[in-house]
Amino acid sequence: MNFSKLNEWLQTVASLGVLVGLILVAYQLRQTTAISQAEHSRETYLAWLEIADIELQGGLAPIIIKSYTEPDQLTADELYKLNSWLISVMSVYVYGSDAKELGVATGFATIDIPYATYLFGSRFARHWFERNRWWLGKENIETIEQVIRDTPVLDRWPRYDEYYNQ
């Protein structure tokens, strides 16, 4: 066996090694993406559970209703709770938007019209939006602006099913 034949054989083996290596890297990337998507789904789910717990344990429903019916009568404590609640809810959507841009979002990633209407029907929530729009992300801002533009300020908290069963 001469030197040029050995060189050709070694180049073929090296090329196959590179090809196998690239296949393994592609496989690992797919696994990493699947793991990232699963982690994103889990974190989103846990965030929504925390928000639900805040709503249930914190007695938030009467405060939200008051923000529609008697917004001028909200106490400083109630305003703080509403602010914290909206920050929590919108943070989930901002996180979803960021994950969507990175390609790891599963399911919804930005707020939709029905839920935006549900959240931003009151004068308080609309005022909150104007003060906080800078961090909410372009798609979320566009959806909320559409709701504000197309929906009058509501004088009662809409039932959740009024918007999702349309």
Query: What are the residue ranges spanned by the domains of the chain?
Result: 36-164
pLDDT per residue as tens digits for the range 141-166: 999 999 899 888 888 777 656 655 55
The type of residue at 43 is E
Q: What is the mean pLDDT of residues 3-16?
A: 85
**C-beta of residue 127 within 8 angstroms of C-beta of residue 90:** no
Residue among 97, 96, 82 nearest 128 (CA): 82
Secondary-structure percent of the chain, ordered helix, strand, coil, rounded to 5? 80, 0, 20
DSSP state of 140: H
pLDDT per residue as tens digits for the range 66-95: 988 888 999 999 998 888 888 888 888 888
Question: pTM for the full model?
Answer: 0.70
pLDDT per residue as tens digits for the range 31-63: 887 777 778 777 777 777 787 777 777 788 888
